[in-house]
Structure 1
Amino acid sequence: MLRTDFSDLDAWEAVRSAVTRPIGIFKAYVEFLSNPEFDSMTSLQLLTLMKAGSDHSFIFVVDRVTLSDSEYPILVLDLSDHPGRSFRVIPEEMWAVENNLSIANMDFADFADSVDADGVFRGFPMQ
């Protein structure tokens, strides 16, 4: 999880706490990268940077939108199938995205196509 906004340390810590909090038996397995070198980087800049040798197919980004919204919607950026495609996910559902994309159990599109009207993934509807 890459931080690109350094305007609010308390909000960053709140996001980190929310992301690492287990949901039942599930949790997101992420590393936190907080380096001012990435401050204010755009999605396009991150795509260019990540293409230069990354074996990741997606990246979580904590940006200004994340830190300024009470739900902390984290940007998920596709680096593989459709580079640049994105959606947001609330921390409570990040485990589902991370766990399933990491083991290729689901595709990026499965989540991107299941967002709410505001572009945020808040979980799949209960049936």
Structure 2
Amino acid sequence: MDLHVVTDLEDEPGGLESSLVVRTDFSDQAAWLRTQTALMQPGRLGEDAQDDGDEDFGPALTFVDHPRFDGFTAQQFVAEVARMRLSRNHLFFADRRAQIDDDHPVVALDLEKDAPGGEENAPGRSFRVRAYEVGSVGANLSLINMDFREFADATPDGVFRGFQE
């Protein structure tokens, strides 16, 4: 598995099509490695796939692994991204829960400043995404095929597990 790992938030580490996954818990290196492995597993491309909707693809992810992000919260990321003037509309972060739960549900964080819908769509809205769905969610958000709100609204328990048919 070829991992792209950087040590800071950047606009172009893997291109803007690559979603950032930031490590925020440094208590267990083995758990972090398991999380990275789970996140890099191919996922379904979805209904718009060329081959009947079940084509597998590897997620476009760049991992940010630096202790300065230890314990970072959603609001700290929103402030840091604004301070750095990054062009990203989302990022994922892997906290303790993401690293120890079997589904590795990372936090998806909305960074879009001009989202329609007022305060409910302001930067900082978040939900969890199980590892298998991260590639699809990240690709759709990066390419602006879907809004953050569409995914967030499909998480009645706070964890996105895919759209129900």
Q: Secondary structure at the match of 1:6?
A: coil
Query: Who wins on radius of gyration, i.e. which is larger?
Result: 2
> Is the CA contact 1:116–1:122 (under 8 Å) kept in the aligned structure 2?
no
> In 1, distance between residues paired with 2:141 and 2:71?
26
In terms of fraction of residues, the more helix-rich structure is 1
**Residue 89 of structure 2 is aligned to residue 74 of structure 1:** no
Task: For residue 19 of structure 1, report the CA deviation from its aligned partner.
Answer: 1.1
Structure 1 stretches of 4+ moved >4 Å: none
Partner of 1:45: 76
Task: For residue 2 of structure 1, report the CA deviation from its aligned partner.
Answer: 0.4
TM-score by length of 2: 0.72
In terms of fraction of residues, the more strand-rich structure is 2
Question: Unaligned regions of 5+ residues in structure 1, if any?
Answer: none
Question: Unaligned regions of 5+ residues in structure 2, if any?
Answer: 1-20, 44-54, 116-121
**Residue 78 of structure 2 is aligned to residue 58 of structure 1:** no
**Residue 24 of structure 2 is aligned to residue 4 of structure 1:** yes
> In 2, distance between residues paired with 1:27 and 1:98?
11
AA aligned opposite 1:121: F
Q: Which moved more, 1:80-89 or 1:19-28?
A: 19-28
Task: Encode CA deviations 1:54-93: one digit per residue, 9 max, x unaligned.
Answer: 1100010001221232221100000113201000000101
Partner of 2:7: none
TM-score by length of 1: 0.93
**Residue 37 of structure 2 is aligned to residue 17 of structure 1:** yes
Two-structure CA RMSD over aligned residues (Å): 1.1
Aligned length, in residue pairs:
125
> Is the CA contact 2:92–2:107 (under 8 Å) kept in the aligned structure 1?
yes
